[in-house]
Structure 1
Amino acid sequence: MKSHFIVGLFLAISVFTPSCSGGKVLLFPVDGSHWVNMKVLIEELHSRGHSITVIRPSSSWYITENSPLYTSITIADEFSESDDFFEEYLFKVIEIERGDASGLSFLKIQVDLFSMLSKAHDMSCKMVSVILEDKMLVKRLQDERYDLVLTDPALAGGVILTHYLKLPLVLNVRWITSGEGHFALAPSPLSYVPLPGSGHTDKMAFTQRVKNVLFQSFTFFQDRFVVGPHYDALIDKYFDYKTDIVSLLQAADIWLMRTDFVFEFPRPTMPNVVYMGGFQCKPSKPLPADLEEFVQSSGDHGFIIMSLGTLVRSIPADMANDIASAFASLPQKVIWRHLGDRPSTVGNNTLIVEWMPQNDLLGHSKIKAFVAHGGTNGVQEAIYHGVPILGVPLFFDQFDNLIRIQERGAGKILKLSEFSRHTFRQALQELLGNTSYRTNMQKLSSLHRDQPMRPLDSAVFWIEYVMRNKGATHLRSEFYKMPWYSYHSVDVLLVLFTVVAVFVFCTVAIIRFGNGILTEHRWLK
């Protein structure tokens, strides 16, 4: 009887649980911190029996050629160590922000940003061109009969390749070629949906809404004149129909969005958007013995960690000395990931490391605060573990991420333009001394964990859903195929206006004609 029950239970589970036998995934990632969270998806897909092929550039920082998780295809690219434009851009931003906060400085930063973005997208397009020119490689990719392409559209080479191969497309996304993904996909009323870079929340006064509208012009300029031309050239060369990169993005089957509404401000969305904010987060593991000994030596004061992310190798020496000096004045122990020259003002309470197990440290019982640049991965891990943040935003989306944390009372922002030894120490002391920051962050942590299923499980479900159903076109709006005047109902409004105008004109004409006849009739009398 027991054996029959177990067999019956197994059959029931097999019938009612969606399954997907080992599929074939072609993956076109973006390097750096974006690869860190893409690798989480790879590990989960591999554990479920899927076969993964990763296309990587030969100059990749983090994407290794040999891995037990995937097979790689390495593409020669033109990147060299002298092209370290991220660090160059960072130093320019710090110099401008700390020296000149005028409108001219803002324009300088924008020009440098546009230049850097143009170079990055140009490199991505050249890599795709190398692939498409290699007929043997293209045939190999076609013969493999992949179930889908999974790509990060911050650099959209993978989007171009997907449409060329005519495969279903899943995006691991928050950022696309010209801004935040929602703005290309879902209705985004500028009255309460802040644009990236505006520094606003969803509660905007009139002047802030004016600024929000003006910021849209920067996004339009970036898409039309900075980024778009690189992809337009590829499309014109390799596609037999007219389109653009934004339309190709909008045609994706599923958008795996690396955010959720614990973190994000409420806004309209679409049915093919799957929210997986914090999907990379996991319970902490025990620390290495040396780190555990160091944090335990902090006693009741606890410890602080600081990291400015994977892209930042160093910061100006005077800024590093100010940070080290402020840390030295605190009773807490400090673990600081810093790859530059050792500051001369480092105190005995500070341990400088080249790498640290950030997730495990954030989950430690003695952690008191996280000093961070505001990257999505670090912010989500801080939410998961309930650790308040002192944010020092440097570039890209970091200020926008941190403004969402500050608005909810779970952290504090220290702008580069306000940064000094004194202000940094003061901000740290406020974060550590005011318990409301920790309480509010722990509330966010509780909300984040209160879900019907893990974000990672949800993400993988929808990837497998696309495999099982050969796409998800029924969830995708076809609005991107409409001309702009139809999308905004300009043609409808013009027709209605014409009808009303003709009606008014005819009515006036009839009245005047009638009055003329009456006048003539009276004159004849």
Structure 2
Amino acid sequence: MIAGKILIIPVDGSRWVNMKILIQELHSRGHNITVMMPTDNWYINEESPYYTSIRIHLPSVQNIYRDNIFSSIVDKVIYTKNIGHWFSFVAMQYQMFTFLSRSHHMSCLMAATLFENQELVKRLQDAHFDLVLTDPFLGGGVLIAHYLQLPMVLNVRWVFSREAHFLLAPSPVSYTPLTGTEFTDKMTFLQRFTNVLLYGFNMCLERIFIRPHYDEVCSRYFGSDVNIYSLIQSADIWLVRVDFIFEFPRPTMPNAVYIGGFQCQPYKPLSLDLEQFMESSGEHGVIIMSLGTIITNLPKDITNKIAAAFAQLPQKVIWRYSGETPSSLGNNTLLAKWIPQNDLLGHPKTRVFVSHGGTNGIFEAIYHGVPIVGLPLLYDQFDNFIRLKDRGVAKVLDIANLNTEDVLQALKDVLDKPSYRDNMQRLSRLHHDQLIKPLDAAIFWIEYVINNKGAAHLRTESYHMPWYAYHCVDILLALLFVILFFFVFMFVLCRLLCYKVCKKRKIK
């Protein structure tokens, strides 16, 4: 193994949790890690024993993670879902793209600020990095990798507003459901019709809200013939944070490596107080509830309904929660601002996981074989639970029409019906039955790119093709021209023959 120099350009929030695990593992194998970040961020620490950092000062830009913005979005989601399905969907898409536009503006600004700082550019070039590892949910890292002419590995689940496969590989919308539709891969005619329309609708929104930020940077620094999509598709390796135990089957590519659940580990012993709480649950066991890293609180009335449902159960409850104590909180419920989620899910006393549907939590539940009661709040979380429902491992609640009875019934169903646990245990066995562990696979392919100075032989060159060539529109037009020419020729020939025959008859 050759120890490499790796430049990492992460995305903040829950995606940093994933990237940090790769950083720690790469560091443990002797690689030199440098992390580039904006000066104003949420979770990314400037100082770390695992990496050195480069901070990019962004002038006059508002931190998108301040002011509890995600809780505000949840409030809007609840409101719009109560109005009606179609209006709800359009309103949520508009809210999502408005937020994404701000995020992408900040990412492009970071890249442009770096490009204008030639002293820092020279420093990066002199460092002789072996590759860039980045998350293309925001494209700033992709722009920087191209500017520095370095091989690129993507740690990816989403690209802009799309699931990564839509840029990675052919994704027929006849059986590949779009995020936001809440469809499975077995769609009716009406669902396929809707899927196609929404694909076009999403592309239009992406073109209006997202592409202009990148087009401006690409045009200024790379030329008008370069676009952000082709830069992303030029990546050497895609480390895709799903697997086909969770995802619906679909076409893939040689440079796609599926690392779903790479962050999962066997559970470690709990602290003494948590262990005592778990053991005190007796035969009934414990329910774990967490809404992830970005949503700390729900509206007060919803929180009270959930707490009231918990209070009526014989199980103990550990709830990751940092707000005002719910008035209906029962004696069986422990509130904590932070919990060792993976270790709690792996504990033998854990019976059910109440989750918002983030990918990290879902894979931890699959890894440990714990069935789920879903409370999706934002974006892809609704579609994540459609996949889990389709496999019979989750019961899903509607946040917009939540009441105590529904929460209680959903919990009792998952607790009392063996099929939920049995199905999740089956998924867990499938997930563990792999030749190479997902984290080991991720590290292997990163090192593969370092050792071989890239992996262009695994990458399709289709991203160089214009859209009309990729979809064979020019071929179809040529065939239509040939067919049209043939019929016109035959028509003219017949007219000519008829004319000669008629002329001969007149002469006779």
TM-score range, shorter chain: over 0.9
SS in 1 for 2:155: strand
**1:366 pairs with one of 346, 349, 367:** 349
Q: In the alignment, does 2:465 pair up with 1:512?
A: no
Percent identical among aligned pairs is 55
Q: Runs of 4+ in structure 1 displaced over 3 angstroms? A: 79-84
Provide the residue aligned with 1:149 in structure 2.
Answer: 132
Cα distance between partner residues in 2 of 1:379 and 1:101: 28
Q: In the alignment, does 2:4 pair up with 1:23?
A: yes
CA RMSD of aligned residues (A): 1.2
In the TM superposition, 1:266-281 aligns within 5 A as 266-281=249-264
Provide Cα deviations, 1:246-290, integer angstroms capped at 9, x if missing partner: 111111111000001111100001111111111111100011110
Cα distance between partner residues in 1 of 2:175 and 2:117: 47
After TM superposition, give the deviation of residue 421 of structure 1 in Å.
Answer: 1.4
SS in 2 for 1:522: helix
Cα contact 1:369–1:432 (8 A) shared by 2: yes
Cα contact 2:80–2:87 (8 A) shared by 1: no
In the TM superposition, 1:243-258 aligns within 5 A as 243-258=226-241
**2:459 pairs with one of 476, 479, 487:** 476
Cα distance between partner residues in 2 of 1:339 and 1:242: 49
Amino acid of the residue matched to residue 444 of structure 1? L
Cα distance between partner residues in 1 of 2:281 and 2:68: 38
> Where does structure 1 lack aligned partners over 5 or more consecutive residues?
1-19
Q: In the alignment, does 2:405 pair up with 1:422?
A: yes
Cα distance between partner residues in 1 of 2:281 and 2:419: 22
Give the direction of change, closer, same or farther, for the CA distance of 1:454–1:110 in structure 2 (3 Å limit). same
Provide the residue aligned with 1:12 in structure 2.
Answer: none
Provide the residue aligned with 1:298 in structure 2.
Answer: 281
Task: Say which is worse superposed, 71-80 or 292-301, in terms of deviation.
Answer: 71-80
Q: In the alignment, does 2:16 pair up with 1:38?
A: no
Provide Cα deviations, 1:439-481, integer angstroms capped at 9, x if missing partner: 0000000000001110111111100010011111111111111
| Number of aligned residues | 505
Amino acid of the residue matched to residue 39 of structure 1? K
After TM superposition, give the deviation of residue 83 of structure 1 in Å.
Answer: 4.8
Q: In the alignment, does 2:406 pair up with 1:395?
A: no
After TM superposition, give the deviation of residue 241 of structure 1 in Å.
Answer: 5.0
- Give the alignment's TM-score, normalised by structure 1: 0.94
Provide the residue aligned with 1:90 in structure 2.
Answer: 74
Cα contact 2:267–2:346 (8 A) shared by 1: yes
After TM superposition, give the deviation of residue 102 of structure 1 in Å.
Answer: 4.3
- Give the alignment's TM-score, normalised by structure 2: 0.97
Q: In the alignment, does 2:147 pair up with 1:164?
A: yes
Cα distance between partner residues in 1 of 2:197 and 2:312: 43
Amino acid of the residue matched to residue 95 of structure 2? D
Provide the residue aligned with 1:197 in structure 2.
Answer: 180
Provide Cα deviations, 1:373-427, integer angstroms capped at 9, x if missing partner: 0000000000000000111110121111111111000111112233211111111
After TM superposition, give the deviation of residue 232 of structure 1 in Å.
Answer: 1.0
Cα contact 2:153–2:236 (8 A) shared by 1: yes
Cα distance between partner residues in 2 of 1:418 and 1:200: 21
After TM superposition, give the deviation of residue 105 of structure 1 in Å.
Answer: 3.1
Cα contact 1:327–1:350 (8 A) shared by 2: yes
**1:66 pairs with one of 44, 47, 59:** 47
Cα distance between partner residues in 1 of 2:241 and 2:214: 24
> Where does structure 2 lack aligned partners over 5 or more consecutive residues?
none
After TM superposition, give the deviation of residue 238 of structure 1 in Å.
Answer: 1.7
Cα contact 1:388–1:411 (8 A) shared by 2: yes
Cα distance between partner residues in 2 of 1:240 and 1:179: 25
SS in 1 for 2:210: helix
Amino acid of the residue matched to residue 257 of structure 1? V
Provide the residue aligned with 1:9 in structure 2.
Answer: none
Q: In the alignment, does 2:321 pair up with 1:342?
A: no
Cα distance between partner residues in 2 of 1:228 and 1:176: 12
Amino acid of the residue matched to residue 328 of structure 1? A
Cα contact 1:94–1:416 (8 A) shared by 2: yes
Cα contact 1:369–1:390 (8 A) shared by 2: yes
Provide the residue aligned with 1:114 in structure 2.
Answer: 97
Task: Say which is worse superposed, 489-498 or 213-222, in terms of deviation.
Answer: 213-222
Cα contact 2:133–2:152 (8 A) shared by 1: yes
Cα distance between partner residues in 2 of 1:88 and 1:177: 21
Provide the residue aligned with 2:164 in structure 1.
Answer: 181
Provide the residue aligned with 1:376 in structure 2.
Answer: 359
**1:446 pairs with one of 422, 429, 433:** 429
Cα distance between partner residues in 2 of 1:372 and 1:51: 36
SS in 2 for 1:368: strand
**1:75 pairs with one of 48, 56, 66:** 56
Task: Say which is worse superposed, 88-97 or 374-383, in terms of deviation.
Answer: 88-97
